[in-house]
Structure 1
Amino acid sequence: MGEVQQIQTTTTPIPGLLLFSLPVHGDNRGWFKENWHRRKLIDAGMPDFGPVQNNISFNAQRGTTRGIHAEPWDKFISLASGRIFGAWVDLREGPSFGTLFTAELSPHEAVFVPRGVGNAFQTLQSDTVYTYLVNDHWSAEAQANYTFLNLADEDIAVPWPISLDECILSPQDRTHPRLADVEPMPGRRILVLGADGQLGAALRRAYQGQGTVDFLGRGDFDITSEESYQAMDWRKYSTIINSAAFTAVDAAETAEGRVAAWAINASAVTRLARTAVEHSLTLVHISTDYIFDGTAAIHREVEPPSPLGVYGQSKAAGDAAAATVPRHYIVRTSWVVGQGRNFVRTMAALADKEVPARVVDDQWGRLSFADDIAAGIRHLLENNAAPGTYNVTNDGEPQSWAQVAREVYALRGATPTLVAGISTDDYAKQGTAPRPRSSVLDLSKIRAAGFNPPSASERLAEYLGKGT
């Protein structure tokens, strides 16, 4: 028996369907192979799909034929003995629907089959042992979400080596629909939690017209409630975007607020992270400049957290939980402006009345418009960016809060000098939570990922021009 010395990967006409040649080492006693080696297979191009169940199919006779079944999970298929003719048909929604790929498999080969790709095989030897790993647990409920195609479909015309008239088939496989009657398996969906907040509203706009995103507010899904998690069919989703958060910075310093901040920003994120790991989901989590003490002039993604107050501490804990998910995006932002109450709206209302304002002039940062944060999130997901933490704010020269306020006054036709500066120390005397002096986030990494945030000043003029 020949030996394959390293894993070799072959792409196929079906997107995501990968064929592997596995090293098989034989001598006079038989042979040995590493049937599943996570790191080596990932390095060879296979997704880190997180298998949770191992199944074995023993086929006593040559000509046993099974399929074509598209299942709502990914599979890694290999043989322990024997030889098969494999046939795979893309039954997912999209332009590759109906694409066929075939190959013979022995213990030397394996195949990764993505969710929604129909899988079938015909044994070419007796006593064939067919094994497969899957990344979700089988259940009768899950089987109801299978998509089937008839083995003898004339449009696909699988070139079975052994005529189906001479094969061993199940009664069910004989009666599955032809391609014209197959309802394609829909793709997994994106779930946005906290969809009734500023960022949630922006994500609704970012995905407007897309039928593949579900938006749930607190009344629909409470991220602190175990019942919400248990009631959700997570198999429908590929991605969770968590835009829910406790953001009342000053209230977080109170006894009641401290409990709420930790429950929503830390404990609930830990539960979300566990859900993402259990169901092989991508988790997008929103972070904040408040995880830093602000002593660094510019904060990069690798800077260790150093929060000053309860809000920042609870968010830093949530970031640490989110980072345990193999495929995660921690999107760190600052000074968010969107729908609802925010600093810009407050200053605009004062400017319209020509009311003087006292605003902190020794805290520095950049505004982050919610629509641009949402666009950055969509960019990371759609471009399959490397998992990790990304700073996402608007671009431009950093400003103090007082400078932003003066810019708002000017854009509203009010006198900018109505805005007087106040120090952080004087502002803190009003009983407010500690805040970082510098909230400037470095944008090099998100730019390298292909997303260039617009200028904060440009976006501010547009925002105020909409009648804010």
Structure 2
Amino acid sequence: MALPSLETTPIPGLFVVRLDVREDPRGFFKENWQHQKMLDIGLPDFGPVQNNVSFNADRGVTRGIHTEPWDKFISLATGRIFGAWVDMREGDSFGATFTLEMDTSMAVFVPRGVGNSYQTLEDGTAYTYLVNQHWRPGITYPALALDDPTVSISWPIPLAEAIISEKDRQNPQLDRGTAIARQRTLVVGGNGQLGQALQQEFPDAEGVGRDRLDLTDTGAVAAWPWADYDVVLNAAAYTAVDTAETAEGRVAAWAANATAPATLAALAREHGFTLVHYSSEYVFDGTAPLDPGHTEDEPLSPLGVYAQSKAAGELAVAAAPRHYVVRTSWVIGDGGNFVRTMQRLAGNGVSPSVVSDQVGRLTFAAELARATRHLLESDAAYGTYHVSNTGPATSWSDIATRVFELSGRDAGDVTPISSEEYAAGKTLAPRPLNSTMNLAKIRATGFEPEDAFVALERYCAGASASSRP
């Protein structure tokens, strides 16, 4: 059958779908909902979990205007209706209306927060709708009077002649003070380097640390208002790579990097939010060639406990219907990190020995946050993406040398050494020698990362400026 077609309306996110209906003397057949075809025409992947049918015996039955806390996809099995929708969400479109006379060849996608109502134009009309939250008795939600003078809906059958429930006759008038709050973005791990950068990139987001939301605490998770969010950015992680090899560290690493993401994935399935989870190039053993580098579909091959826990977290997040796993490497943001350490050593007159056989690219937290916004706003396909700054693969000693130069020190003050030499006498977790990730997939979505050394120069210059009296 042919693809349906999609039409926009004056209400943001409210779409009309024209369906392909095949008729003959016996009746008709239509694909009322075909998941892939709906995605192909641009309908949101809203994840319906329940199908409801409202049968209306008589012409003139009028229901609404109801603003249920879920998205819905409505259509008709038989009959005709006059549909009316009112945007009840806070913002510039509050109070916007759209009306349409519908038959069985049409469907309408109604986003959460938009009031829905209809009036039957024929006897025996069956109104059917898919929703992405389970109906439950006793739930209350905002409603609007059918005769509200502000929206002024022109009902084909005068309301005085219509069949209306007593409850719907008592619905209130439009009031901007009761506008429905739009769902927000939640940043988990908001106190870390990446979490801070995400909050700068998403200024309307709510950032929380473990002190406010501990994902390993079942009581705290159950009490959190997950339905208030349409996007959750999980920047929380256990990153003490070497300590993860200890008995205590192993438990903490698996709790934060594997169990917590699994909890978020289950919540994403239940509440319908998009989950963005940040992972690491440590999920690979570092044996991939520099060209093309690690690709998204490379089999996981983690070496140490930290790496294994991050790989497990990735697998758990993949169970969320709408998810992005963003793998990154060598993150630099506000706070303690390798670049800050090299700047401090340079300023203190220290001449360090730095590993030269581990290669990769820096990823500045601001660049990672920018890529996150791009993935969400460009409607990129869900799945796994590699994100780092771009440029040639460099070693830790190459980066240290450049930081020393930017700090006014001689490049020769940094001594390159091997990983084996650096590890002598220490208890260290194994590290991948090649952390370079292929960026072709993220680039194919229209995102172009900034050169790592260009970003490094700006970062170091900013640090120098902030340290001046």
TM-score (normalizing by structure 1): 0.91
- Structure 2: distance between partners of 1:396 and 1:141: 58
> Structure 1 141/440 Cα, relative in aligned 2: closer, same or farther at 3 Å?
farther
In the alignment, which residue of structure 2 is the partner of 1:169?
Answer: 164
Aligned to 2:339: 344
- Once structures 1 and 2 are overlaid, which stretch shifts more, 156-165 or 179-188? 179-188
Deviation at 1:368, TM superposition (A): 1.2
Give, in whole Å, the separation in 2 of the partners of 1:205 and 1:20. Answer: 37
Decide which of 336, 348, 354 is 1:353's aligned counterpart.
348
Tell me how far 1:184 sits from its aligned partner: 2.7
1:290-369 to structure 2, matched below 5 A, reads: 290-296=282-288, 297=290, 298-369=293-364
CA offsets 1:358-394 (integer angstroms, 9 cap, x no match): 1101111111111221122122222222222222212
**Aligned length in residues:** 460
What is the alpha-carbon distance in structure 1 between the residues aligned to residue 283 and residue 138 of structure 2? 43
Do 2:356 and 2:395's aligned partners in 1 also have CA atoms closer than 8 Å? yes
1:214 corresponds in structure 2 to 206
- Helix, strand or coil for the counterpart of 1:264? helix
Structure 1 residues 462 and 34, CA gap change in structure 2 (3 angstroms): closer
Cα gap change, 1:107/1:272 in structure 2, threshold over 3 Å: closer, same or farther? same
2:111 counterpart of 1:108: no
Q: Counterparts of 1:6 and 1:255 in 2: how far apart (Å)? A: 56
Residue-by-residue CA offset, 1:15-35 (whole Å, 9 max, x unaligned) = 322223445556666555444
Aligned to 1:237: 229
Shift of 1:241: 0.3
CA distance, structure 1, for counterparts of residue 122 and residue 233 of structure 2: 48
Please say if 1:154 is aligned against 2:146: no
d(CA) in 2 for partners of 1:268, 1:138: 28
Conservation of the 8 A alpha-carbon contact between 1:72 and 1:142: no
2:264 maps to a residue whose letter is L
- CA separation in 2, counterparts of 1:142 and 1:418? 68
How many Å separate the matches in 2 of 1:387 and 1:234? 21
**1:453 is matched with which residue: 424, 449, 452?**
449
Equivalent in the alignment of 1:99: 96
**Counterparts of 1:395 and 1:228, CA distance in 2:** 39
Q: How far apart are the structure 2 equivalents of 1:36 and 1:353?
A: 66
Unpaired stretches in structure 1, ≥5 consecutive residues: none
Does the 8 Å CA contact 1:288/1:332 hold for their aligned counterparts? Answer: yes
Range with greater deviation from structure 2 (419-428 or 241-250) = 419-428
Report how far residue 53 of structure 1 moved. 2.5
CA 1:32–1:453 in structure 2 vs 1: closer, same or farther (change >3 Å)? closer
Partner Cα distance (2:213, 2:247) in 1: 25
Q: Which moved more, 1:234-243 or 1:103-112?
A: 103-112
**C-alpha contact 2:61 2:119 (8 A) present in aligned 1:** yes
8 Å contact from structure 1 (residues 147, 182) kept in 2: no
Q: Summarize the Cα distance change of 1:455–1:45 in structure 2 as closer, same or farther, 3 Å threshold.
A: closer
What is the rounded CA distance, in whole Å, between the counterparts of 1:402 and 1:23 in structure 2? 62
Q: Equivalent residue for 1:224?
A: 216
Query: Is 1:37–2:37 an aligned residue pair?
Result: no
How far, CA to CA, are the matches of 2:340 and 2:20 in structure 1?
64
Deviation at 1:349, TM superposition (A): 1.3
Q: Distance in 2 between matches of 1:260 and 1:35?
A: 48
Q: 1:445 to 1:43 in 2, by over 3 A?
A: closer
Q: State the one-letter code of the partner of 1:422.
A: I
Structure 2 counterpart of 1:310, one-letter code: V
Aligned residue for 2:391, secondary structure, equals: coil
| 1:435 Cα deviation from its structure 2 partner | 0.7
Q: Answer with 321-330 or 279-288: which moved more.
A: 321-330
* Distance in 2 separating the partners of 1:361 and 1:45: 48
- Decide whether aligned partners of structure 1 residues 309 and 173 sit closer, same or farther in structure 2, where only a CA change above 3 A counts: same
| Aligned-pair CA distance for 1:215 | 0.9
Task: Decide whether the 8 Å contact of 1:58 with 1:130 is kept in 2.
Answer: yes
The change in CA–CA distance for 1:6 and 1:353 in structure 2 (over 3 A counts) is: closer
Give yes or no for contact 1:354–1:415 (8 Å, CA) kept in 2. Answer: no
The separation in 1 between residues aligned to 2:7 and 2:201, in whole angstroms, is 36
> Residue 125 of structure 2 aligns to which amino acid in structure 1?
T
What is the letter of the counterpart of residue 247 of structure 1? T
2:423 to 407, 425, 428: 428
Separation in structure 1 between the aligned mates of residue 139 and residue 165 of structure 2, nearest angstrom: 20
Query: What are structure 2's unaligned runs of at least 5 residues?
Result: none
> Which residue in the other structure is 2:386 paired with?
391
Summarize the Cα distance change of 1:142–1:342 in structure 2 as closer, same or farther, 3 Å threshold: farther
On the 8 A contact 2:66/2:117 being kept in 1, the answer is yes
Q: What is the RMSD computed on CA atoms of the aligned residues? A: 2.2
8 Å CA contact 2:277–2:324 kept in 1: the answer is: yes
**Distance change in 2, residues 1:37/1:443 (3 Å):** closer
More displaced 10-residue stretch of structure 1: 362-371 or 385-394: 385-394
Post-superposition CA distance 1:420-446 (Å, at most 9, x none): 111011223322111111111222322
Q: TM-score, normalised by structure 2?
A: 0.91
Residue pair 2:80, 2:122 contacting (<8 A) in 1 also = yes
CA distance in 2, matches of 1:233, 1:358: 49
Q: What corresponds to 1:69 in structure 2?
A: 66
> What do the CA deviations read for 1:141-174 (whole angstroms, capped 9, x no partner)?
852xx33332222332222110111112233433
Q: Is the 8 A contact 1:428 1:434 kept in 2?
A: no
Aligned to 2:281: 289
Cα displacement (A) at 1:253: 1.4
Indicate conservation of the 8 Å contact 1:50/1:280, yes or no.
yes
Identical aligned residues as a percent: 54
Output one character per residue of 1:34-91: Cα deviation in whole Å (capped at 9) or x when no partner.
Answer: 4433334333433221122332223232211111122221011122333211111222
Is the aligned partner of 1:464 residue 2:464?
no
> Does the 8 Å CA contact 1:148/1:182 hold for their aligned counterparts?
no
Q: 1:113 to 1:32 in 2, by over 3 A?
A: same
> Would the alpha carbon gap of residues 42 and 383 (structure 1) be closer, same or farther in structure 2, given more than 3 Å must change?
closer
Q: Which range is displaced more, 217-226 or 164-173?
A: 164-173
What residue is the counterpart of 2:134 in the other structure?
Answer: 137
1:8 Cα deviation after fit: 4.0
Verify the 8 A CA contact 2:47 2:321 in the aligned structure 1: no
Hey, what's the Cα distance between the residues in 2 that align with 1:353 and 1:6?
67
Structure 1: distance between partners of 2:355 and 2:366: 26
* Corresponding residue number in structure 2 for 1:188: 183
Equivalent position amino acid for 2:164 in 1? L
- Secondary structure of 1:376's counterpart equals helix
| Cα separation, 1, equivalents of 2:180 and 2:93 | 12
1:266 aligns with 2:258: yes
